[in-house]
């Protein structure tokens, strides 16, 4: 432990700055400026250099970049697809689910769309929440409620709730898509203005 601290100090900014100033002190000694008090001059300059050196900065924690987070969501979306393929849904709900998963697949497809999405942390979070929480919960709650409805007929059909939930998730995904489209439209408009200004 003491050895690692010593090695850490040797590599620190304070030691490097102090050593540089100490070398200046030695140069002054060899030039005959320091005289018989040269050890005090060298030590003083070393101490001054160590004092004025900027403090050590701890390294930043290594958080995953947005594209890595998006890769994780892609993997989860593939696993979700396997689960959804095993669930028997009514035709109307199945159609809405197909539309929703098609849109999610397009957003998660690797390429320039994914790169654009990766720069939107809120969008990545919303997509992650849909894939990992909202969509599986909607389908699973439908499966559970359908079983209870068979035991107690006359209740509100659970597929109505599922269709409404899938519609809301579709609208959320469409808003995310519209936001990404607006970013690209603004980028195009900015480039047009740049070219117009350059040609004036």
The answer to whether residue 52 scores a pLDDT higher than 80 is no
In the block, which residue shows the tokens 């900027």?
54
| Residue 131 located in a structural domain | yes
Look up the pTM and report it. 0.65
**Both 43 and 82 in a single domain?**
no
**Both 138 and 78 in a single domain?**
yes
What tokens were used for 139? Answer: 């389908």
**Both 130 and 44 in a single domain?**
no
- Answer positive or negative: Cα dihedral of 171, 172, 175, 180: negative
pLDDT value, residue 17: 77
**78-79-84 Cα angle (round to 5):** 95
**Both 110 and 11 in a single domain?**
no
Phi–psi pair at 193, nearest 5 degrees: -60, -40
**Both 102 and 179 in a single domain?**
yes
| Residue 188 located in a structural domain | yes
**Both 191 and 151 in a single domain?**
yes
pLDDT value, residue 11: 65
At how many degrees (to 10) do helices 91-108 and 66-85 cross?
160
The answer to whether residue 93 scores a pLDDT higher than 80 is yes
Give strand ranges (E) for the chain.
none
| Residue 61 located in a structural domain | no
Residues 57, 113 contacting (CB under 8 angstroms): no
> Nearest CA to 65 among 111, 109, 121, 9?
121
| Residue 99 located in a structural domain | yes
| Residue 185 located in a structural domain | yes
Phi–psi pair at 156, nearest 5 degrees: -65, 130
Q: What is the pLDDT of residues 53-88, one digit of tens each?
A: 777 677 777 766 767 788 899 999 999 999 999 999
**Both 79 and 167 in a single domain?**
yes
Q: What is the pLDDT of residues 111-155, one digit of tens each?
A: 888 888 888 888 889 999 999 999 999 999 998 888 777 666 666
In the block, which residue shows the tokens 């028997």?
88
**Both 85 and 182 in a single domain?**
yes
The answer to whether residue 2 scores a pLDDT higher than 60 is no
**Both 133 and 189 in a single domain?**
yes
Structural domain boundaries enclosing 13: 2-52
**Both 163 and 74 in a single domain?**
yes
Q: How many domains is the chain partitioned into structurally?
A: 2
| Residue 59 located in a structural domain | no
pLDDT category, 44, cuts 50, 70, 90?
confident
| Residue 155 located in a structural domain | yes
Q: What is the pLDDT of residues 147-176, one digit of tens each?
A: 777 666 666 778 899 999 999 999 999 999
pLDDT value, residue 83: 93
**Both 20 and 119 in a single domain?**
no
> Nearest CA to 44 among 58, 72, 24?
24
**Both 34 and 75 in a single domain?**
no
């Amino acid at each position: 432990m003491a050895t690692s601290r010593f090695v850490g100090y040797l590599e620190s900014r304070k030691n490097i700055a102090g050593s540089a100033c100490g070398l200046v002190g030695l140069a002054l000694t060899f030039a005959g400026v320091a005289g018989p008090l040269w050890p005090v001059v060298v030590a003083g300059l070393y101490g001054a250099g160590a004092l004025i050196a900027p403090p050590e900065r701890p390294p930043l924690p290594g958080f995953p970049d947005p594209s890595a987070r998006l890769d994780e969501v892609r993997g989860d979306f593939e696993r979700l697809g396997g689960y959804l393929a095993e669930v028997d849904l009514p035709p109307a709900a199945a159609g809405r689910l197909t539309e929703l998963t098609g849109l999610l697949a397009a957003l998660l497809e690797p390429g320039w769309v994914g790169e654009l999405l990766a720069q939107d942390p809120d969008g990545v979070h919303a997509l992650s929440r849909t894939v990992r929480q909202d969509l599986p919960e909607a389908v699973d709650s439908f499966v559970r409620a359908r079983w209870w409805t068979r035991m107690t007929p006359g209740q509100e059909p659970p597929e109505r709730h599922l269709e409404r939930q899938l519609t809301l998730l579709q609208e959320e995904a469409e808003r995310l898509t519209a936001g990404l489209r607006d970013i690209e439209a603004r980028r195009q408009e900015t480039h047009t203005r740049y070219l117009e200004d350059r040609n004036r």
